[in-house]
Amino acid sequence: MVDLRQKPYNLSEEQVQWVEETIRSMSLEEKIGQLFVNMVANEEERRPENIKKVLDTYHPGAIRYHNASKEELWEMAKNLQDASRIPLLIASNCEMGGNGGVNEGTMLANGAAMAAMDSEDAVYEVASISAKESAAVGCNWNFAPVVDLTYNWRNTIVQLRAFNDKPDDVIRYAAAFFRGMRTQNFATCMKHFPGDGTEENDQHLIMGINDMSVEEWDKSFGRVYKALIDEGCMTIMAGHIALPAYSRKLCPGIRDEDIRPATLAPELITGLLKGQLGFNGLVVTDASHMIGMFGSSVSRREQVPGAIAAGCDMFLFFNDRDEDFGYMMEGYKNGTITQERLNDALHRILGVKAALNLHVHKREGTLVPPRENLLVVGCKEHHQTAAALADRYITLVKDRRSYLPMTTEKYRRLKLVYIGSEATVIAGTKFKSNDQEIIGDIVSQLESRGFEVDAVVEQKKGRMEEFKARYDAVLLVLNVQGFAQFNTMRIKWDEPAKQPWYMSELPTFVLSLSLTNNLIDVPMARCYINAYMPSHEAFEAALSKMMGKSKFMGRLNDNVFCNRWETRF
C-alpha cells in the first residue's frame, strides 16, 4: 500500500486527511471514474455543456486534450475545474517546449537537441518555459521527459524525443527537466517504462519488446529509473513494451504467449517498478488506443481493468466512454480489480493532487491562473530563448569536401529540394503536416540573406549541363517525421526529380530538420547538418552557421552514422 507521507508525495497530516475524507465521500462510480484520463478531442467536446456531461457521467480523475488556441484552452480548463467536484489533473505533453501544451506555445528543443547542447542549464530552461506556458492554460501535469535510451539507431519513435543512449546523461538531463517543471505547480513524469529505444518498432502499431537481459536492463534502464525515482519523480508512464527477461525472472515458467506489455504485466509494474525499484508514486498507462495495447492478445474488455490490476493507477483515454467505463466497473465487480488495488490506486491519484495542493486551490478558486498569464505563451522573450538554444544545438555531422561556408558569393543560385512528412496520428487523430508553411519560411529566410531560390518541383531531371548552368548548389532539406503510420520512418522520395542524383553534379548541402539518422538514405552526402527541429529559429541558426557567420556547437551522437562505414565520408 502506498505511503503518502513519503517520497514523492511527502504529504502533511492535513493533506492526508483530505485524501482520506475525499475517498470516503466518493460513490463507487466516482472511484471508478478517477482511474481514467479523459481526452478532450475537439471544439465540440470543449463546449461547457459537454464538459459538464462527461464529468457528471464518467467522473474522470484527469484530462488530456488536443492542442488549440491559448484562449480556448484556458476556457476549457476553467470550465473543467469549475464543473468537477474533485480537482482535476490536466496534462500537457511538453517534451520540447510549450508547443506541446498550446498552439501558440514556443518550440524550444527536443531531447536530441538538448543532448547536443550537453547542458543541464539549457534543459532546465526548456522545462521551465514549458511549465510556464502550459501552466498558463491550466495544466498541472506534464508527460515528459522521455527517458528512453536510443540504443537502436533505426528507432524513429523516440529518436528525437529521447536524449541519447548514455544513462548518466539521461539521469542528469531528466533531473534538470524535473527542476524546471517544478518552477510551476506541476506533477513530474517520465516515460516509457520499461524503456524504448532498443528496437525499431512503434508501439502505436505493434507491441514493443525490450529484449535486454536482466543484467543489461539493470545497468541501463534500471539505473535510470532508480536514480530518477530516488530524485522524486511523482509519476511514471508505462509503455506498451514487454520486457521478457524480467517477466521470466519474476514469473518462472511463464509461457511466451503469456508475455504482455508492461501496461498489462503485474510482474513489471507491481513487481519490478513498485516493488524492486521502490516506486511509491502514480503509474499511468500510455495511450490505450495504441495497437501495442489495443492489439494485445487479450480483449479490450480484459485490458481496461487488467491494466489497473497489473498495478497501473490511471488508464489513459477512453475508446468509447460508456463501454470502457463499463469494462472497468465490471472488472471491479468480478474481482479483477480487488478492493485493495482500487484503494491503493485512488490514494496515489488523490495523493498527487494533494501534493500539488489542488484541493486548496479549488477552495480558493485558483486552480486556473488569471487570464493575463496567457501573455507569456509564445512571447518574444521565449522566442529569443529558442533562438539562443538553437545557436547551441545545431550540429555539423560532416563537410568532407569543404563546401562550407555557403555564401552568396559562391552559391547565390540555390535549388531547394524539400522532403516533407507524412501526416501524424496523435492520440488516435490524424493531423496534416505543415510542410508548406515550413517551405515558405525557408525560402523567405534564404532570400532575405541574398540567395536566389528555386523551390519548384520539376517533373523530370532534365539535362545535366543545363542544371549545372542554372544553379550554383542544391540545398536538400529533410523534414521526415511523424509516427503511428510506419514502424520506422525513412526518406520517401515522393517525386523522381527530388531523388539525390544532383549530389554528383553540384555541391549539395543536406540539412535535417527532424530525424538524425537520415544518412542511411543519403550516405553519399558530403555535407550534412542536423538541426533537430522544424522551427523558424532552428533554420535561422543553421543558416547562419552554414554561411559562416557563427560556429557549429552541437555535439553529435555516433548513432547519426547508422552503424555504417559509408555514411562517414
383 domain residue, yes or no: no
| Predicted confidence (pLDDT) per residue in 76-133, tens digit | 999 999 999 999 999 999 999 999 999 999 999 999 999 999 999 999 999 999 999 9
Q: What is the pLDDT of residues 528-541, one digit of tens each?
A: 999 999 999 999 99
Average pLDDT over residues 459-471: 94
CATH number at residue 556: 3.40.50.1700
Q: Is pLDDT above 90 for 376? A: yes
Q: Do 261 and 352 share a domain, yes or no?
A: yes
Last-in-domain residue among 374, 406, 427: 374
The reply to whether 411 and 357 lie within a common domain is: no
Residue 441 cell numbers, joined: 519560411
Q: What percent of the chain has pLDDT over 70?
A: 99
Count of domains forming the chain: 2
CATH number, residue 109: 3.20.20.300
Q: Which of the listed residues 374, 402, 427 is the one where a domain comes to its end?
A: 374
Could you tell me if 304 and 445 lie in one domain? no
Please check whether residues 407 and 343 belong to one and the same domain: no
Task: Quote the crossing angle between the two packed helices 536-546 and 380-393, to the nearest 10°.
Answer: 40
Supply the pLDDT for residue 409: 98
Domain boundary among 374, 405, 422: 374
Residue at 94 is within a domain: yes
The model's pLDDT over 160-204, given as tens digits with 9 standing for 90+, comes to 999 999 999 999 999 999 999 999 999 999 999 999 999 999 999
Closest Cα partner for 267 from 244, 285, 287? 244
- Indicate the residue type of 532: Y
| Confidence tier at 297 by pLDDT (50, 70, 90) | confident
Q: Does the annotation count 202 as an active-site position? A: no
- Give the pLDDT score at 547: 98
Contact, 124 vs 76, CB < 8 A?
A: no
Mark whether 402 and 335 lie in a shared domain: no
Is the confidence at residue 296, as pLDDT, over 70? no
User: 555 and 521, same structural domain?
Assistant: yes
Q: Is residue 278 part of a domain?
A: yes
Per-residue pLDDT, 430: 75
3-class DSSP state of 180: helix
Statement to judge: residues 337 and 470 lie in one domain: no
Q: Is a pLDDT exceeding 80 seen at residue 347?
A: yes
Predicted confidence at residue 287, as pLDDT, reads 95
pTM: 0.97
Measured CA angle at 428 (ends 423, 433), to 5 deg = 15
Q: Which residue has the cell 536514480?
A: 227
Asked whether residue 146 falls in the same domain as residue 285, the answer is yes
For every residue of 137-173, which 3-state class applies, written as one string?
A: CCCCEECCCECCCCCCCCCCCCCCCECCCCHHHHHHH
Residue 389 lies in a domain: no
In a domain, 6, yes or no: no
Does the residue 71 lie in any domain?
yes
Asked whether the CA dihedral 393, 399, 405, 411 is positive or negative, the reply is: negative
Which contiguous run of DSSP H or E holds residue 524? none
Instruction: Exactly one of 148, 165, 169, 286 is catalytic; name it.
Output: 286
Do 400 and 332 reside in the same domain of the chain?
no
Identify the band that residue 421 occupies on the pLDDT scale cut at 50, 70 and 90: confident
Q: Give the other-Cβ count within 10 Å of 568's Cβ.
A: 14
- By CB neighbour count within 10 A (0-12 exposed, 13-18 middle, 19+ buried), where does 288 fall? buried
User: pLDDT tens digits, residue range 492-513?
Assistant: 999 999 999 999 999 999 999 9
**38-47, 123-132, 479-488: range with lowest mean pLDDT:** 479-488
With 70 as the cut, is the pLDDT of residue 559 above it? Answer: yes
Are 298 and 190 contained in the same domain?
A: yes
Mean pLDDT for the chain? 96
Domain that holds residue 461: 394-561
Please tell me the distance from the alpha carbon of residue 298 to that of residue 223, in angstroms, as a whole number: 31
Q: What is the pLDDT at residue 261?
A: 96
- Same structural domain for residues 261 and 333? yes
Same domain, 356 and 500: no
- pLDDT at residue 7 above 80? yes
pLDDT in tens, 317-328: 999 999 999 999
Angstrom distance (rounded) from CA 63 to CA 371: 20
Q: Is residue 487 part of a domain?
A: yes
Angle, helix 120-136 to helix 380-393, in steps of 10 degrees:
150
* Structure confidence at residue 486 as a pLDDT band (50, 70, 90): confident
Q: Is residue 529 part of a domain?
A: yes
pLDDT digits (tens, 9 = 90+) for 210-219: 999 999 999 9
Please check the confidence at residue 295 and state whether its pLDDT lies above 70.
Answer: no
